[in-house]
Chains A and B, each alone.
Chain A
Amino acid sequence: MKDDLETELRQALRPVAPSEGFEERLLARVTAERSSPPKPSRLKWRRSPATRWLSAGLAASILAAVGIQHHLHAQREREIGLEARRQVIEALRVTEEKLELAYRVVKDQSSSVSDEKPGV
């Protein structure tokens, strides 16, 4: 039974031919591929040492530019903060002077009123 089955399988699985024109279609594709200009290969592009150095340099420049910009931005922020602090201190100082002046005026007025009314 095993041999019969294997014989039948060999018969059943005999190779058959593809449709008419199979080779012609294939050779036409090969010819078309040969005549078309070669596509630029991304891998080759990446593998080129000059391109690799150029890419690395470009990446380093971009990183440096981003770093410098970040540093300048932080410095500007710090300067703005310091200026705001200076202005607040100045405003407090002016306010203190005004209050001092007002206090003195009120004090002078109250002492002159008590001089005019000694019995009170």
Chain B
Amino acid sequence: MSLDEQLAKARAGDLAAFGDLVRAHKRSVYSLALRMLGRRDLAEDMAQEVFMQLHGKLQSIESSAHLAFWLRKVTAHRAIDQLRRRPPVEMTSLNDEAQLVSTVDGSDPLLQRQLRQLVLNLSPPARAVVMLRYQEDLDPLEIAKTLDMPVNTVKSHLKRSLETMRQEILGQVETRREGHST
């Protein structure tokens, strides 16, 4: 059954179809919340709230594409609002999360952990832009629509965030080299 058919059934009150929609989108919503907030418990709570809100708004969701857009938009905006209301979370909380991501492709797990940490150091809007670009694979125009942001601002966030992360990683590599040579 296609996502559009599941959506139609969920709108008609079919709880199992709603469960299928949740299953299809839970990783995306939860991961977006996790990388924005930096804590599993907060991310799970937020993902639950987003899906509860979706259940109440099912009648206004027109298609599976609209559903994906709506979920990203609501999750990103909720996360940004929460980060503005509360002080920054502890940055150590994602350390154990790194173990959940397999490294079957041979990429460097240490570097990936550093990158996740660097994403957490970005400002909430920049973090949302980076997440939508590299987790959700959206282009700048789609990100701009999702975050209600001018497309030039999106491009600027992306450019500055990549530059910052590159500098940080190069700095850490240099520090490590100096440590080895002494």
Instruction: Point out residues on A near B: beta carbons under 8 Å.
Output: 1-2, 5-6, 8-19, 22-23, 25-27, 29-31, 33
Stretch at the interface among B17-25, B60-68, B79-87: B17-25
- What distance in Å separates the Cβ of B72 from its nearest Cβ neighbour in chain A? 12
Instruction: Point out residues on B near A: beta carbons under 8 Å.
Output: 15, 18-19, 22-23, 26-28, 30-31, 34-35, 40, 43-44, 47-48, 51-52, 55, 97, 100-101, 105, 107-108, 111-113, 115-116, 119, 130-131, 134-135, 137, 162, 165-166, 169
- Inter-subunit contact B22/A5 (CB<8 Å): no
C-alpha gap A12/B98 in the complex (Å)? 9
- Residues in chain B near residue A8, CB distance under 8 A: 107-108, 111-112, 115
- Inter-subunit contact B44/A23 (CB<8 Å): no
Closest chain B residue, CB of each to CB of A27 = B19
- Residues in chain B near residue A30, CB distance under 8 A: 15, 18, 52, 55
C-alpha gap A5/B134 in the complex (Å)? 11
- What distance in Å separates the Cβ of B124 from its nearest Cβ neighbour in chain A? 16
- Residues in chain A near residue B134, CB distance under 8 A: 6, 9-10, 12-13
C-alpha gap A32/B102 in the complex (Å)? 36
Choose among A2, A15, A26 the residue that contacts B48 (Cβ–Cβ < 8 A). Answer: A26
- Residues in chain A near residue B107, CB distance under 8 A: 8, 11
